[in-house]
């Protein structure tokens, strides 16, 4: 555990970061007291890592059966150098939540309705100054409102165990419109979203009046029940 902490300090320098929630996507060691100690060591290692934004560049609209470039990158140095190095087409997006950055990181791109004929190696070592960029050739194989899924993970060597594990720290979906039918689906989804919010808003407006009516009715019935009975002489 100490050696892992020293490695993080020597490579990145001291960094104070909030608690990181993560889960393992590789096979973990058997659940024993020793494994629990190792998992605690990994947790402390991740907490001590610097956190940076991941940048993603992808086209919003793609053409079926044509290759399109998608890029993802991060850096511990100058982010302007990273942005300048991501030269592919499409809008540059920034993941709002920064991710912990280890000496070795992994990024994968997947999606139903896409082929990926080529791309950068999933695992790459992160330089302390130069940007780290992943590139993929993406080919849509059908039309529609499709989703690309970017997964970012850090690679950790478990202390005392001759194996590596990947810990996923970020998952980001990117909507891609392919063909006319893709626009039809997208417009339909936006329309349904507006209708949903209108119905929710009407329900919220109607709720106070309903409660007020019920409350008034309850008070009326209570007064009626509590009215004294008149006796005839």
Residue 160 has what pLDDT?
A: 61
pLDDT in tens, 52-103: 999 999 998 999 999 999 999 999 999 999 999 998 888 888 887 899 999 9
12-40 core/surface letters (b: 16 or more CB in 10 A; e: else) = beeeeeeebebeeeeebeeeeeeeeebbe
> Which tens digit of pLDDT belongs to each residue from 16-35?
333 333 333 333 334 444 55
CA separation for the pair 42, 48 (Å, rounded): 10
Quote the CA–CA distance of 198 and 204 in Å, as a whole number.
10
pLDDT tens track for 156-168: 876 565 667 888 8
Confidence band of 199 (pLDDT split at 50, 70, 90): confident
- pLDDT value at residue 38: 57
Q: Look at residue 25 in the predicted model and tell me its pLDDT.
A: 37
User: Which residue segments constitute the domains of the chain, with CATH numbers given?
Assistant: 2-179 (2.60.40.10)
Query: pLDDT category, 209, cuts 50, 70, 90?
Result: low
8 versus 51: which is more confidently predicted?
Answer: 51
pLDDT digits (tens, 9 = 90+) for 144-195: 999 999 999 999 876 565 667 888 888 899 889 888 877 787 788 778 888 8
Q: Distance (Å, rounded) from C-alpha 130 to C-alpha 76?
A: 8
Is this model's pTM higher than 0.95 or not? no
Supply the pLDDT for residue 37.
Answer: 53
* Residue 36 pLDDT greater than 80, yes or no: no
pLDDT for residue 228: 53
Residue 164 pLDDT: 74
C-alpha–C-alpha distance, residues 85 and 134, integer Å? 11
Banded model confidence at residue 111, pLDDT cuts 50, 70, 90: very high
What pLDDT was estimated at residue 106?
Answer: 95
Q: What is the pLDDT of residue 226?
A: 53
CB 117 within 8 A of CB 85: no
Q: Per residue in 41-51, pLDDT tens?
A: 777 888 889 99
């Amino acid at each position: 555990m100490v050696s892992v902490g020293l490695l993080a300090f020597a490579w990145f320098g001291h960094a104070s970061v909030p608690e990181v929630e993560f889960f393992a996507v590789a096979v973990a060691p058997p659940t024993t007291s020793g494994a629990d100690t190792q998992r605690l060591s990994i947790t402390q290692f991740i907490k001590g890592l610097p956190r940076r934004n991941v940048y993603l560049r992808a086209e919003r609209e793609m053409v079926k059966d044509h290759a399109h470039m998608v890029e993802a990158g991060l850096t511990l140095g100058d982010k302007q150098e990273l942005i300048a190095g991501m030269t592919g087409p499409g809008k540059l997006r920034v993941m709002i939540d920064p991710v912990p950055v280890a000496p070795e990181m992994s990024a994968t791109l997947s999606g139903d309705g896409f082929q990926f004929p080529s791309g950068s190696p999933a695992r790459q070592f992160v330089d302390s100054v130069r940007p780290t960029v992943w590139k993929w050739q993406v080919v849509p194989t059908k039309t529609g409102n499709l989703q690309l899924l970017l997964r970012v993970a850090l690679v950790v060597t478990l202390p005392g165990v001759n194996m590596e594990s990947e810990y996923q720290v970020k998952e980001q979906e990117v909507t891609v419109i392919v063909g006319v039918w893709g626009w039809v689906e997208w417009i339909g989804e936006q329309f349904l979203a507006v209708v949903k919010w209108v119905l929710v808003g009407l329900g919220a407006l109607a709720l106070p009046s309903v409660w007020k009516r019920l409350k008034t009715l309850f008070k009326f019935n209570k007064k009626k029940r509590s009215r004294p009975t008149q006796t005839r002489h």
